[in-house]
Amino acid sequence: MRFSSCLKNCNTLPHAKFIKELEKNFIPHSAFQKTLLGVGSAVVALFDPYRADMISCMGEVTGGKALNYMRQKMLETNEGAEILRDMPRINSQIVCFKTLSQMPQNTLGRVYADFMVENKITADSRLPVHFIDDPDMAYVIQRYREVHDLVHATLFMKTNMLGEVTIKWIEGIQTKLPMCIGGGIWGAARLKPKHRQLYLKQYLPWAIKTGNDAKFMQGIYFEKRWNQDISDFHREMNITRLTGT
C-alpha cells in the first residue's frame, strides 16, 4: 500500500494522524515472512504468554478475517460506527486518569482508573501496529488493544492467568481473533490446580455466556461513558457480574 495515496484520499484529521502513525511504524514484509511471523510468534507466545510483542504480532498476521468481522460488527451500531469515524485513542495524553480517579466510585471511569492503579498498568503500554497496511483494519486492532484493560476493568476480572484466560475466551467469542481463541485454550493449560477448578466450574461457563450474550464490547464508546453507573452499564450491555469478583 502507498500510504501517501491513503492520506490523499482521507478527509478527516483523525484518519490522517493515524495513517501517518501507521506509516512510521509499518514493517514491510513478504507473504512468506508473514507466515513465518505467524508461526514463530504463536510458538513463543505459547511458551511465554507474557510476551506482549509476540502476542501483538500474532494478532496482526493471523487476524485478517477476524478484523473484517470486527469492523462490520462495529458498523452495525451507531456507537461502533462513531468510533470508526472518530478513531479515538486511549493513552495518558488523551485520557486524564487523575480526573477519572476523582469520579464517584460506582462510575465506569472510576472503576477503570482504580483498576489501572491496582494492577500497576499504564495506558501507554499498548504496542503500535507494525504488520497491517490497511488503515481501517489497523485501527480496529489498535482499538482492540487499547480497550483490553477496559474490558478487564468493567468485568472486574484480575490480570492474573485465570483472569487473562477468562477475558481471552470472551474476546475470542466476540472477535473471532485466532490469538484470543488460542490464548483461551492454551492459557487454560497453564493454570494451577486450584485455579483450574475455579476455571472449569465458574469462570469458563461465565465467559462463554458473557461472550455470547453481552453486546459487542469493541463497539462500546467507553470514553463517552465515564460518568455511567457501572451497574447501569452492565444492564445495558447485558452483562452479569461473576459472583465473587
Binding site, residues?
A: 148-149, 152, 164
Binding site for Zn(2+), residues?
A: 148-149, 152, 164
Q: At what angle do helices 161-175 and 64-75 cross, to 10 degrees?
A: 70
Closest CA to 177 of 45, 10, 83, 87: 45
**Burial zone of 70 (CB within 10 Å; 0-12 exposed, 13-18 middle, 19+ buried):** buried
Grid coordinates of 162: 485465570
Q: Judge contact between 118 and 46, C-beta under 8 A.
A: no
* Distance from C-alpha of 155 to C-alpha of 112, rounded to nearest angstrom: 10
Question: Three-class SS of residue 55?
Answer: helix
Q: Judge contact between 170 and 207, C-beta under 8 A.
A: yes
